[in-house]
C-alpha cells in the first residue's frame, strides 16, 4: 500500500502531512530553475506511469515509486514533480484521495529530498560503474524511507492500524530490491550516454 486512502488517517496526521507538504512545495518553488522544468515533467510522467507496474507481495501487491530516483536526478524539483504525479494518480487511477494527498505527498517527498541530500553530490564526478551503485542506493533509500513513513502515519492514527503498519513496512523490502535494479540501470545509462542531461561531468569509465 504505497498510497493511503481517504478515511483512514486521523485528523492530526492529515493536518501535519498537509502542512509539511505545503512547506516543502513553497521551498521548492522558491528554488525553481525554469530550464529544468522539461526534465521534471518527463520524470513526473515516469513516476505516474510507474504506478502501473506492480510487484506481487503475497496476496497483495505494491507498485514502483521511483521517488528516490527523482530526488537523485532532480533535487528540490522532485517535490512539485511528485505532487503533480500524485494528483494525476488520485484523479485517474483512484490511488489515495484528496484529503490524504498531503500525507501521501509527504511520504514520497521527504525520502526524495533525503536521497538528493545524501547522494546527488556524488553524481558530479562519478564513473559509470559507480553510478550503478549510486542509483541502486537511491532506489533502496527512497523505498525504505517511504515505507517507514507510510507505516508511521498509519501507526500514529490509532492502535487498530498497527498490524497494517507492520505489514506495510515488510512489504516495502522486496520493492526496494526491484527499485534498486531499475534505478541503477537508469542512472548508469544516463551517466554513460547523456551526462549533460543531468548536469554531470563525464569521466573515464571506472
Query: What per-residue string of b and e applies to 129-146 under the rule 16 or more CB within 10 Å gives b?
Result: ebbbbbbbbbbbbbbbbb
Min mean pLDDT across 27-31, 88-92, 176-180 is at 88-92
Each residue of 141-160: pLDDT tens digit?
A: 999 999 999 999 999 998 88
Q: What would the 3-class secondary structure string for 7-18 be?
A: CCCCHHHHHHHH
Top pLDDT among 123 and 57 is at: 123
Q: Write down the pTM of the prediction.
A: 0.87
Determine what percent of the chain is predicted with pLDDT higher than 70.
Answer: 89
Residue 204: phi and psi, rounded to 5, are -65, 150
Work out whether the CA dihedral 17, 28, 52, 54 comes out positive or negative.
negative
- What was the pLDDT predicted at 198? 63
pLDDT level of residue 201 (50, 70, 90 thresholds): very low
Please state, as a whole number, how many other Cβ atoms lie within 10 Å of the Cβ of residue 15: 13
Work out whether the CA dihedral 162, 165, 167, 169 comes out positive or negative.
negative
Q: What is the largest CA-CA distance in the chain?
A: 54
Top pLDDT among 157 and 54 is at: 157
- What was the pLDDT predicted at 1? 52
Q: Report d(CA 126, CA 117) in Å as an integer.
A: 16
Mean pLDDT of the chain: 84
Report the CATH architecture of 11-198.
Orthogonal Bundle (1.10)
Q: Report d(CA 120, CA 73) in Å as an integer.
A: 7
Each residue of 95-119: pLDDT tens digit?
A: 778 899 999 999 999 999 999 999 9
Query: What per-residue string of b and e applies to 179-189 under the rule 16 or more CB within 10 Å gives b?
Result: bbebbbebbbe
> What value does the mean pLDDT take over residues 65-72?
92
Would you kindly state where each structural domain of the chain is located, as residue ranges?
Answer: 11-198
Angle at 67 between CA 63 and CA 71, to 5 degrees: 165
> What value does the mean pLDDT take over residues 147-176?
87
Amino acid at each position: 500500500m504505497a498510497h493511503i486512502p481517504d478515511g483512514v488517517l486521523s485528523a492530526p496526521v492529515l493536518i501535519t502531512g498537509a502542512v509539511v507538504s505545503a512547506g516543502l512545495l513553497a521551498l521548492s518553488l522558491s528554488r525553481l530553475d525554469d530550464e529544468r522544468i522539461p526534465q521534471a515533467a518527463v520524470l513526473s510522467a515516469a513516476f505516474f506511469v510507474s504506478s502501473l507496474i506492480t510487484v506481487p507481495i503475497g496476496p497483495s501487491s505494491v507498485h514502483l515509486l521511483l521517488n528516490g530516483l527523482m530526488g537523485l536526478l532532480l533535487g528540490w524539483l522532485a517535490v512539485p514533480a511528485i505532487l503533480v504525479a500524485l494528483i494525476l494518480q488520485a484523479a485517474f487511477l483512484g490511488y489515495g484521495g484528496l484529503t490524504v494527498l498531503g500525507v501521501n505527498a509527504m511520504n514520497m517527498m521527504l525520502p526524495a529530498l533525503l536521497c538528493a541530500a545524501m547522494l546527488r553530490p556524488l553524481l558530479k564526478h562519478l564513473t559509470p560503474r559507480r553510478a550503478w551503485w549510486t542509483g541502486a542506493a537511491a532506489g533502496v533509500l527512497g523505498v525504505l524511507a517511504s515505507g517507514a513513513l507510510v507505516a508511521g502515519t498509519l501507526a500514529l492514527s490509532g492502535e487498530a492500524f498497527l498490524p497494517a503498519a507492520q505489514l506495510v513496512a515488510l512489504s516495502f523490502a522486496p520493492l526496494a530490491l526491484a527499485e534498486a535494479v531499475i534505478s541503477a540501470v537508469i542512472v548508469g545509462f544516463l551517466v554513460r550516454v547523456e551526462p549533460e542531461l543531468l548536469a554531470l561531468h563525464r569521466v573515464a569509465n571506472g
